Amino acid sequence: MADSIVAKLGVVDRKVDEMARARTNEPDTMGDKIFKAAVPALAGLIAGKVFQTLWHKGIVKRRSNDSEADERQGLLLTLLFAGLSSAFGAVISQLSDAGSQAFVEHRHIKRAKRSGER
């Protein structure tokens, strides 16, 4: 019985050591993690607002004064706006995600070179 408890504690100890090593060998700092999360989110938000502004400027100019025609087109235009806006925001978020990841990796390479020169 005591041997099995000691063996289980040994497994837990090895797992804790492995997790501690993984945490200390993590190349990303807290700033890197925040940067990689914030940049794509902000870029997607800004892109969505820009798209919304451009959409409303373009649609308001083309709308007629006929309220019946506006009602018929309203649902279609709403669905079209939702789809295009989501697609545009997703593309911008993905591109900025890749860009922020590349920027952080570039910083890691520069940091590694600097510490290797010393």
72 pLDDT more than 80: no
Q: Write down the pLDDT at residue 27.
A: 73
Query: What is the spatial distance between Cα 27 and Cα 85, in angstroms, rounded to a whole number?
Result: 35
pLDDT tens column, 1-54: 888 888 888 899 899 888 877 766 677 788 888 999 999 999 988 998 999 999
The pTM for the full model equals 0.63
89 with 43: CB under 8 angstroms? no
Query: What is the spatial distance between Cα 79 and Cα 82, in angstroms, rounded to a whole number?
Result: 5
End-to-end C-alpha distance for the chain, whole angstroms: 53
